[in-house]
Structure 1
Amino acid sequence: MESAYNSKKNPLSESEASSISPIIEAFLKHKVDRYQRNKKPRYNPTIEVETESHCIVIPVSKPEKSGFKEETKSRISDSSSNSLLYNTNIAPLYSEKEVNARIKEATDNLRQEFIKSTKKILKTIKQKKDIECNQIRIDMRNLFKFRLKKFIRDGTIYSLIHDLEKKDGRLYPDISRFKGL
C-alpha cells in the first residue's frame, strides 16, 4: 500500500531521477512553471468608484493597455476623510455622469414597469369589485321585490300604511289605480 502511495507522489525512484539528463530536466521544469502560471485563476480587473451612498464596480476591458497591473490595483485610502485616491495610471471606463445617467435610465425603466404592473393589477381588482357590486345591487333589488310582494300578499303593507297615516295625521292616496300611467 505504501509503495503505491509513494509511486503516486514520486513516480521516479532516486536512481531513475539521477539518470535524467539536464536538458530534459530543464524542459520539465519549464513545463511545470508554465502549467503553474496557466493554473492561476484569471485576473478580472475592476475599478471601484465610491460616492457618498453608492459603490459602483466597473470592469476594465483591457488592463494591459490602461496600465492596470495586479500590483497597482490596490487603492489608497486617505485616513483624514472618506475620499479615495486611485493610482493615476488607471483610467475609468465611464465618467460619473455616464454612470448616473445609466442609473437614472434603469430606475426610470423600473418605475415604468412598476406603474404598468400596478395598473394591470388594480384594473383586475376593480373589475372583480365591480362584478361584486353589481351582484349585490341585483340581490338587493330582488330582495326588495320579494319582500314587497310578501308584504302585499299577507297584508302587512296595508297595516304599515295605516299606522303611518295615524302617526302623520294625514291620508296617503291609493296609487294602485294609477298603475296604467
Structure 2
Amino acid sequence: MARFLRALWGPSSQEAPGLAVRGQAGGPEAGRGDAESVMKCEPCGPSLTKDEWQEKLTPEQFHVTREKGTEPPFSGIYLDNKESGMYHCVCCDSPLFSSEKKFCSGTGWPSFSEAHGTLDSDESNSGILRRLDTSSGKTRTEVVCKQCEAHLGHVFPDGPAPTGQRFCINSVALKFKPSEH
C-alpha cells in the first residue's frame, strides 16, 4: 500500500530530502508573496525564490507551473503541434513527453498516453510524479515535474489503448524541442 501511495503522491520528505520545501507551490506558504520563499529546482542550481521564478518565467508560465494554475482550453501553442520531438519542462528543461505518445483528445489541452521514460506501467525512469489533488472539490491526479515540482496538468483514466491514460498537460508548462533529422 505504501508503494501505491508513493506512486500516487510522490516520495515523502523523509524518503526524498528537500522535497518538502518552504514556500513550494501549493504549500502552506504559497501565495503569501514572500520574496524569500524557496521553490525547488535541482537542475537550476540552488532552489529558486519566488522572485527568481517570476524573473525566469512569463506571468502565465509562473501561474501554471508554480501556483498550480491552468491555461484556458484550446489556447495552448502545442495543442495542434504535430512535429516530431520531445516536450521538456519549461522550468528546468527535463524531458517529459515524446511526440510519439501525443494524441488529439478534443479536450483543449495537449494530451499524451504516457510519460517519456515509462516502461510498461513503471514510471520510475520518467520525468514526472503523480500527486493526489483535491483542490477543485473532486479527486484528481496531478502531474508534476520530478526535478523541479512544476505543476504540469493532470492525468485521467480515459486515454487510448494500450495505457488507457490521458495526460492532460498545459502548453505553457512545456518547451518543445524538434527531433534532429
TM-score of the pair, normalised by structure 2: 0.15
More strand by share: 2
Larger radius of gyration: 1
Structure scoring higher RCO (CA < 8 A, sep ≥ 6) equals 2
